[in-house]
Structure 1
């Protein structure tokens, strides 16, 4: 039986960026065992969509993320962060993932990674259509179709639906990995979990009770 999982993700979430390598390895290690769905959250949406300078804790948080997960942040991102005026808008980021995912539904985790690298490596705003054109081209998708979908009001509505879905599932932070079972929804691991620890948790939940 294939296990269904939901990955609650936000492209502007540094801890999601740090969690990415372990999650991707977990997904690779469990190919054929899991059906993983990536849904975006609204970490920086509505009044929370503000310039990076409005969040002075970010550099210290990034240092912790690097120390605990090993990921590094690119110079383009560090320059953008220091400049301080780029608005982090999670609704725009969610629209981008929906637009990309529409062309490659089975590659959602790969495309989520691409968006995070556009921000956390290159420092590109995820509100800018040119960013999504670049990501689409790099991943052999139709850039014009991606930009059109990104700008379509129906995509914004779909993003808000994803936000509501995650709230209904009880998600109150990112990243969160959820396993759906007959007994309910269970969280697997946390932001600094290894791939092996995630697989162990999955096995524990799926193993029949002794």
Structure 2
């Protein structure tokens, strides 16, 4: 059995789920974690953030429910409404970080969300991946090179296809996968205890 975490780095609810994800991963070191980018803001949804009028209200609700932090730098980044969230670029970054340290994929996904939602850094900017890589003790030049290369672009497309093939329609979604059996453990919001109960049930069926 393994855990499959389908998220989008530009999804506030995914950011809010980071604490639960970290707790679940720490409780279950025996379970490998596959991190998949879902592709929330691609194609015609890749527009200035002002077009999503609900962002600030949703973030307040996420913070209230999960305790997630939305930093002042993030607030400044999106304040004038022109910032464009590009999930394809973010997925390339996830792929680059994941490739550098596969066993730390969940931790790196969380770090990438902090870079945006707390530090106010664009996930389309190579410098963001340099910072995340350096702070994680990874080879920063290699991560940046991977982010800018064709393999990360291919990996991003593969992630979007993988998310769709799993039937995931919203983020974050945490699944337990054993052979051909896929069991939903969390969708949107859940505590680590709730995930544990569903995981225990999945293991006995």
TM range (shorter): over 0.9
Match of 2:190 among 178, 190, 193: 193
Match of 2:118 among 116, 121, 124: 121
1:29 and 2:27 are equivalent in the alignment? yes
Shift of residue 182, structure 1, vs aligned partner: 4.6
Residues 81-160 of structure 1: pairs in structure 2 closer than 5 A: 81-160=78-157
Structure 2 distance, partners of 1:68, 1:200, is: 20
1:38 and 2:53 are equivalent in the alignment? no
Question: What is the count of residue pairs matched by the alignment?
Answer: 205
Larger deviation, residues 53-62 vs 175-184? 175-184
Match of 1:166 among 163, 168, 178: 163
Give the CA RMSD over aligned residues. 1.2
Matched residue SS, 2:79: helix
Q: Which runs of 5+ in 1 are unaligned?
A: none
Aligned to 2:50: 53
Matched residue SS, 1:185: strand
Q: Which runs of 5+ in 2 are unaligned?
A: none
Larger deviation, residues 91-100 vs 188-197? 188-197
Match of 1:64 among 61, 64, 78: 61
User: Normalising to structure 2: TM-score of the pair?
Assistant: 0.96
Shift of residue 192, structure 1, vs aligned partner: 2.2
Where has structure 1 moved over 4 Å in runs of 4 or more? none
Shift of residue 183, structure 1, vs aligned partner: 6.2
The 8 Å contact of residues 175 and 186 in structure 2, kept in 1 or not, is answered as no
Matched residue SS, 1:76: helix
1:181 and 2:178 are equivalent in the alignment? yes
Structure 1 distance, partners of 2:37, 2:80, is: 26
Shift of residue 48, structure 1, vs aligned partner: 1.2
Shift of residue 190, structure 1, vs aligned partner: 2.7
1:13-66 Cα distance to aligned partner (Å, 9 max, x none)? 00000011011101111121x221101111001221122112111001101101
